[in-house]
Amino acid sequence: MTASRIGVLVSGNGSNLDALLSASRRGDLPEIALVLANVAGCRALSRAEEARVPARFLDPRAAPSREAYDEALAAELGEARIDLVCLAGFMRLVGRPLLERFAGRVLNIHPSLLPAFPGLHAPRQAVAAGVRVSGCTVHFVDAGLDTGAVIAQAAVPVQLDDTEESLAARILEQEHRLFPAAAAWVARGEVALEAGRARWRSPPQRAEGAIACPRTDRP
Residues in Cβ contact with 183 at an 8 Å cutoff, skipping those fewer than 6 apart: 6, 20, 23, 29, 84, 86, 107, 138
Nearest CA to 180 out of 26, 73, 4 is that of 26
Residues carrying an active site annotation: 110
- Distance separating alpha carbons of residues 29 and 95, to the nearest angstrom: 26
- Distance separating alpha carbons of residues 133 and 81, to the nearest angstrom: 40
- Distance separating alpha carbons of residues 105 and 99, to the nearest angstrom: 8
Rounded to 5 degrees, φ, ψ at 33 are -100, -15
DSSP state of 186: H
